[in-house]
Structure 1
Amino acid sequence: MGNFESVSLPRLKTLCLERNIYPNEASVESLISSCPVLEDLTIVRMNDNVKVLRVYSQSLTSFSVGYNPGDLIRKYNYYSEKVRENSGLVIDAPRLKYLTFNYERSKSKIVRNLSSLVKVNVLSAFDISSVVGCSEQQMAHNFFTGISRVREMIISQNMMEKLVLHLQYSFLKQGNPAILKDLIALPRRSSMCQIEVFNVHNGRALGIF
């Protein structure tokens, strides 16, 4: 996609950006913001020259973002090392109802103003990693807080095979050990869901429940 100074698409309601290469991050943000009535946006990414994808829209109701799984398989080392380094996704769309992550590989995911969200679809693995100034746990907390009002959430089987819980062992011994019992006692919708507890100091598993 070539560079452009300005564009206006006042009637466009559906937009699909598939495997494009952009001149810079600002061009993608400008393109999306130039669609004042945009309702349905799909972005299929590749090596698109965009480290942090920002989606700001007052009209958007449905958004799907991610990578083509075939591209990830063929270029696994490239995507896992180069593309994901300092990568991020920022979504600010107060009217958004339907959100899909399709093999989405960005390390940082920030969601804001998603009070209208009805359904979240997570396909394949879903990464939330630590970035500068923010721990992995804080990143995950911020993300799930951002989608806390969602009414329905669908998660792929390979992601839900095991829920891994990292707790500091000293906290369990000296703090409130009952928290672990409460977590284990939580009802589970699938027999595949497990809680695995690690000692964060040495990486040893304390148990699978």
Structure 2
Amino acid sequence: MVNLMRKFAKRVGRPGTQIWRGEDMISSLPDHLLYLILRFLTTEEAVWTSVLSSRWRHLWKWVPSLELDTSDFPDERTCAGFIDKFLNFQSESYLREFKLRIDQANCRSDVSLYEPCLGVMIKKPNIRHFQVESDLLEHWCTNEIPLTLSACEALVCLKLHFVRLNDFESLSLPCLKIMYLEDVFFPSDAAVETLISCSPVLEDLKISLNGDDVVVVLRVYSQSLKSFTLKRKDPVNAINGAHTVLVDTPRLEYMSLIDYQFKSFKIISMSDSVKIDLDVNFDLMRDNLSERDIIYNLLNNFSGVRDMTISWTTLEFIYRFQDMNPLPKFHDLTRLRVTMSSNASLEVLPIVLESCPKLKHFHCTLELVHDYSVAVITRLSRVLPRCLVFSLESVEMESPITEKATELKLVRYFLENSATLKKLVLRLNHESTGEKHEPSVLKHLIESPRRSSLCQFEVLAVPPNPEPWWIYVKPQRF
């Protein structure tokens, strides 16, 4: 070790005794290595290194990333002033990454003070990652953060939360690949379309519109987009009502719709291998006939997909109106994941399977939903869906242990009727109800006859949650 220290001393041109007796070795490293070390620290930690010695006083200012939380400053004016001073110091634009979290716990926060410095920051020629988010307690006492976008030649990742975008005349984002916009207020329909179309290499887009947005027609036109998530905040309380969505994304591989309401949803183009995740919430107290047509037309957009996930929120609507407008056929669907109410599962399951004549892989999660409007069916339909006889290969079911043993009835349904089934897995969660099946009941089920001689049947326990319920985990954006 001593020999290594001496060799290092010779390299930096310093006597070994000087390094050992009064000066730390790290301070003797060249600047570019010190910058690399500081990159592993938070901005707050990097700033604290300035008190080590005169050698470290200004080193943190050359670190290519700046991450700030306004709660670390006495007020907004001080934080905005700090950003201004940092920008003035970095005149040569070493900055690559900028993250700002604005604490609006105080209803009197003046977020407009950040507009000038944020406008300068995003124009930095080498900035690649730009993120601004607001920590909200109540929407009614918070203000949107104003921001003006312009040409950002190097920007690769843009993440904005509770930001109000100003009008822009020209915009260029030639390198942007990731764009997350949560509760972002757009000035017009054209602004959304321009923001997407001026990003020729965009691959991952997530939009969560606020209930107060003014967008009437949301156009998502992109030749490069691969993943698209669309969400709407407080859809039932949206003051401008539902609107139209148009999607033209020939390379799209994944689409997710969450808590969304619209009067029209049309897909012009998307990839044949796209995966769809539907968690669409409709207000059943309004015009039922109109909403029935909307959800039916929405599902028709996905009649050719091969992989789909449907929540109980969406399935419940389909279930209530299936007599008037049955579920469309998904002729190419081979993999399906659903969540459904345990009370309604005996009736809903055959309806779902009948709509997927070529289904091979099925995953079902049962939930205890106390909905008295759902009719309780005690027996499954004797009319077997086509996939159950000709194509279904694997079934995985996760369920709480119910008083009526609904989960066991569903297992018998698959074992006794599926001619092509190769594997069936039942995951039981007894923690949610405190109930347990008698071992003899499960043993009898495992030994029961099966229509498919190749079928393997497993009963597994859902592993307990490793974290206590009282531990708060901050939710991630999107």
Both structures adopt the same fold (TM-score exceeding 0.5): yes
Query: Where do residues 88-99 of structure 1 align in structure 2 (5 Å cutoff)?
Result: 88-99=244-255
1:148 partnered with 2:303: yes
- Displacement, 1:63? 0.1
- Provide the residue aligned with 1:203 in structure 2: none
1:13 partnered with 2:177: yes
Partner Cα distance (2:268, 2:166) in 1? 30
- Provide the residue aligned with 2:324 in structure 1: 167
Q: Deviations over 1:7-63 (max 9, x none)?
A: 111111100111111111001101100000100000011022101111001110100
- Displacement, 1:167? 3.4
> Against the structure 1 CA distance between its residues 55 and 84, is the aligned structure 2 distance closer, same or farther, given a 3 Å change threshold?
same
1:63 partnered with 2:217: no
Partner Cα distance (1:117, 1:89) in 2? 21
> Against the structure 1 CA distance between its residues 117 and 136, is the aligned structure 2 distance closer, same or farther, given a 3 Å change threshold?
farther
Q: Which amino acid aligns with 1:147?
A: F
Q: Secondary structure at the match of 1:83?
A: coil
Counterpart of 2:259 (choices 97, 103, 119) is 103
> Against the structure 1 CA distance between its residues 117 and 108, is the aligned structure 2 distance closer, same or farther, given a 3 Å change threshold?
farther
> Against the structure 1 CA distance between its residues 157 and 64, is the aligned structure 2 distance closer, same or farther, given a 3 Å change threshold?
same
Query: Where do residues 28-107 of structure 1 align in structure 2 (5 Å cutoff)?
Result: 28-46=192-210, 47-68=212-233, 72=234, 78-79=237-238, 82-85=239-242, 87-107=243-263
1:3 partnered with 2:167: yes
Contact 2:213 2:240 in 1 (8 A): no
- Displacement, 1:113? 0.9
Contact 1:115 1:149 in 2 (8 A): no
Q: Secondary structure at the match of 2:207?
A: strand
Q: Which amino acid aligns with 1:23?
A: P
Q: Secondary structure at the match of 1:154?
A: strand
Runs of 5+ unmatched residues, structure 2 = 1-164, 327-337, 349-374, 378-478
Partner Cα distance (1:149, 1:36) in 2? 27
Partner Cα distance (1:151, 1:114) in 2? 13
Q: Deviations over 1:98-154 (max 9, x none)?
A: 000011112211111123342111125257x99xxxx76665454333222221111
Contact 1:117 1:149 in 2 (8 A): no
- Displacement, 1:157? 2.1
Q: Deviations over 1:164-198 (max 9, x none)?
A: 22439xxxxxxxxxx9xxxxxxxxx8663547xxx
Contact 1:118 1:149 in 2 (8 A): no
- Provide the residue aligned with 2:30 in structure 1: none
Contact 1:29 1:54 in 2 (8 A): yes
> Against the structure 1 CA distance between its residues 22 and 123, is the aligned structure 2 distance closer, same or farther, given a 3 Å change threshold?
same
Counterpart of 2:312 (choices 157, 166, 171) is 157
Partner Cα distance (1:167, 1:159) in 2? 16
Q: Which amino acid aligns with 1:2?
A: N
Contact 2:279 2:313 in 1 (8 A): no
- Displacement, 1:94? 0.7
The structure with the largest alpha-carbon Rg is 2
- After superposing the two structures, state which structure 1 stretch, 18-27 or 32-41, moved more: 18-27
Contact 1:55 1:92 in 2 (8 A): yes
More strand by share: 1
Partner Cα distance (1:111, 1:83) in 2? 23
Q: Secondary structure at the match of 1:31?
A: helix
Contact 1:114 1:146 in 2 (8 A): no
Counterpart of 2:276 (choices 120, 124, 130) is 120
Q: What's the TM-score once normalised by structure 1's chain length?
A: 0.67
- After superposing the two structures, state which structure 1 stretch, 141-150 or 9-18, moved more: 141-150
- After superposing the two structures, state which structure 1 stretch, 144-153 or 43-52, moved more: 144-153
Q: What's the TM-score once normalised by structure 2's chain length?
A: 0.31
1:24 partnered with 2:188: yes
Partner Cα distance (1:62, 1:158) in 2? 22
Q: How many residues are treated as equivalent by the alignment?
A: 168
Contact 1:120 1:153 in 2 (8 A): yes
Query: Percentage identity across aligned positions?
Result: 36
Partner Cα distance (2:301, 2:314) in 1? 20
